[in-house]
């Protein structure tokens, strides 16, 4: 833990298990995420890393262990109405298939959790929305139909939508997946700006080359559990050893996950699959 960091973690897992129905995809997960950290959850496809994040959001089932969010047990947290404290950026490659809206309109939906049921967006709400678009570098595209934006730009719209809720932590699922190299660098710059502002992030990825300089800690998930947890520089010094030891084998979970699913869709419930 970094000197001066809050004693209480934002996320605390002790022997946690998550899955779907009676099928545990990940087991015995012990993990703390503290304010200001940028934690990369690294692992191959099918390892179960997305299932951990979806468990925090209630999109996969907690099947064991202890899970605390902001010091509150997960089952109780779901009843507190504090969901806005968790900002979620799903793994979604496009917004254009079913959505016809401007970037600003999409980002505004992220603000709804902070508005009254029947209230109209206030000047303060509009300011937050504009600020979110500015942070991701899309202030000049606010009125643009998202169907005309590139995949990387659409991913930034989803980040801005999460930021509009002013969360205490951002949970991102494969933010650079399916994005070309140039846009990966732009996304890395966005993550860097967020980190510089002290935003806590938990980023699921199968590779972190594009934003490695932003990451403060690396957690490697494989074989349904955590096989490494340490500072970024320690991981980089041992990367070949860690990944060779744990990734060169057959993944039963990957076979389970290979069927078409709604993985990464914000609306996908417990029927989604691990990644």
List, for residues 120-172, the tens digit of each pLDDT value.
778 899 999 999 999 999 999 999 999 899 888 999 999 999 999 999 999 99
Quick: pLDDT tens for 198-230: 999 999 998 899 999 999 999 999 988 999 999
Q: 168 in helix, strand or coil?
A: coil
The pLDDT of residue 257 is above 50: no
**Could you tell me if 103 and 146 are in contact, meaning their C-beta atoms sit under 8 angstroms apart?**
yes
Burial zone of 257 (CB within 10 Å; 0-12 exposed, 13-18 middle, 19+ buried): buried
The pLDDT of residue 272 is above 60: no
The pLDDT of residue 109 is above 70: yes
Better-predicted residue by pLDDT, 115 or 242: 242
Predicted TM-score (pTM) of the model is 0.82
Q: What domains can be seen in the chain, in order of their start residue?
A: 11-257 (3.40.50.300)
Q: 132 in helix, strand or coil?
A: helix
For residue 76, give Cα distances in angstroms to 69, 82, 156, 163, 242: 9, 10, 32, 24, 36
Q: What is the mean pLDDT of the chain?
A: 84
Which stretch of 3-17, 43-57, 68-82, 92-106 has the lowest confidence by average pLDDT?
A: 92-106
The pLDDT of residue 274 is above 50: no
pLDDT of res. 219: 96
The pLDDT of residue 4 is above 70: no
Quick: pLDDT tens for 39-80: 999 988 888 999 999 999 999 999 999 999 999 999 999 777
| Token pair of 228 as six digits | 């490494």
pLDDT of res. 167: 93
pLDDT of res. 183: 87
DSSP string computed for 177-245: TT--HHHHHHHHHHHHHHHHTT-EEEEEES--GGGTTT-SEEEEEETTEEEEEEEHHHHHHHHHHHHHH
């Amino acid at each position: 833990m970094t000197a001066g960091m809050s004693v209480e973690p934002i996320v605390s897992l002790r022997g946690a298990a998550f899955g779907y129905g009676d099928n545990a995809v990940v087991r015995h997960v012990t993990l703390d995420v503290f304010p200001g950290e940028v934690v990369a959850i690294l692992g191959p496809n099918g390892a179960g890393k997305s299932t951990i994040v979806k468990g925090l959001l209630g999109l996969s089932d907690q099947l064991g262990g202890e899970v605390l969010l902001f010091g509150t047990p997960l089952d109780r947290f779901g009843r507190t109405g504090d969901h806005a404290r968790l900002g979620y950026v799903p793994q979604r490659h496009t917004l254009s298939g079913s959505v016809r809206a401007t970037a600003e309109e999409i980002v505004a939906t992220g603000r709804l959790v902070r508005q009254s049921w029947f209230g109209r967006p206030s000047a303060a709400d509009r300011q937050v929305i504009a600020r979110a678009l500015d942070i991701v570098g899309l202030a000049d595209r606010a009125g643009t139909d998202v169907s005309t934006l590139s995949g990387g730009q659409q991913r930034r719209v989803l980040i801005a939508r999460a930021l509009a809720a002013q969360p205490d932590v951002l949970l991102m699922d494969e933010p650079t997946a399916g994005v070309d190299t140039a846009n990966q660098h732009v996304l890395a710059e966005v993550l860097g700006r967020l980190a510089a502002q002290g935003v806590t992030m938990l980023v699921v990825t199968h590779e972190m080359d594009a934003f490695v300089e932003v990451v403060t800690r690396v957690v490697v998930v494989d074989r349904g559990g955590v096989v490494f947890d340490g500072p970024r520089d320690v991981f980089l010094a041992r990367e070949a050893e860690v990944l060779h030891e744990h990734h060169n084998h057959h993944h039963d979970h990957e076979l389970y996950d290979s069927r078409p699913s709604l993985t990464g869709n914000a609306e996908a419930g417990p029927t989604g699959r691990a990644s």
